[in-house]
Amino acid sequence: MSELRVVVECSSMFISTQFFRFGKAVEQFYYALLFTTEEHAGAGANAWESWADQGFHIAIKSAPPAARKNDHLKVDTCPGRTFELTAESNNRSGLMRLSELLQEIERARTGLPSGNEDSRTQALLDNPAIESRLVNPIREALKRNAISSEATDAIWSMIKRGLSALTNWQIRSIKVAVS
């Protein structure tokens, strides 16, 4: 089993909701990236639609219905001002893609404009590296599979919440490694 380790240093300890949102963002981005791969193309619209039907709430502990058992992600966290998140999966390539995305988000985070959460999130969505690793693959998968507008809206809301959580103003640094 492969492991992704994320160490986050913050200016102060996150409140519990923010802490859980960060962990959920890592988990949801893993599955979003997974569903954009060729090996999951055969699941078609079902992968995305069933996941949207399940919902994206932070309290949901189940993997998306279309995720194969071998691709499931186990996330464990240890809170604190400097906190650690570990994510384990048998899908090493999926963890590597997630690691690369998280590193790009961290690079972009340090240059984000000050301002409200929406403008910071939009700056991330417009970042070329994040567009190529996250936004475009999801956009193409949703279009290719003719995902309903309701499910598409829910998926993009989840992506925006995740980007916001991963770039919270309290974060000083994020270090990512896969072993």
Give the Cα separation of 131 and 137 in Å (integer): 8
Average the pLDDT over 151-161 and give the result: 97
- Backbone CA torsion sign across 135, 155, 39, 179: positive
- Cα distance from N-terminal residue to C-terminal residue, the chain: 9
Beta bridge mates, 173: 9
| 167, 2 Cβ separation under 8 angstroms | no
| pLDDT tens, position by position, 6-20 | 999 999 999 999 999
Show the tokens assigned to 99. 């690691």
129 closest CA partner among 110, 108, 109: 108
Show the tokens assigned to 141. 């998968």
| pLDDT tens, position by position, 111-143 | 887 778 888 899 999 999 999 999 999 999 999
Give the Cα separation of 77 and 84 in Å (integer): 6
| Mean pLDDT of the residues in the chain | 94
| 150, 125 Cβ separation under 8 angstroms | no
Residue 43: half-sphere exposure toward Cβ, Cα within 13 Å: 21
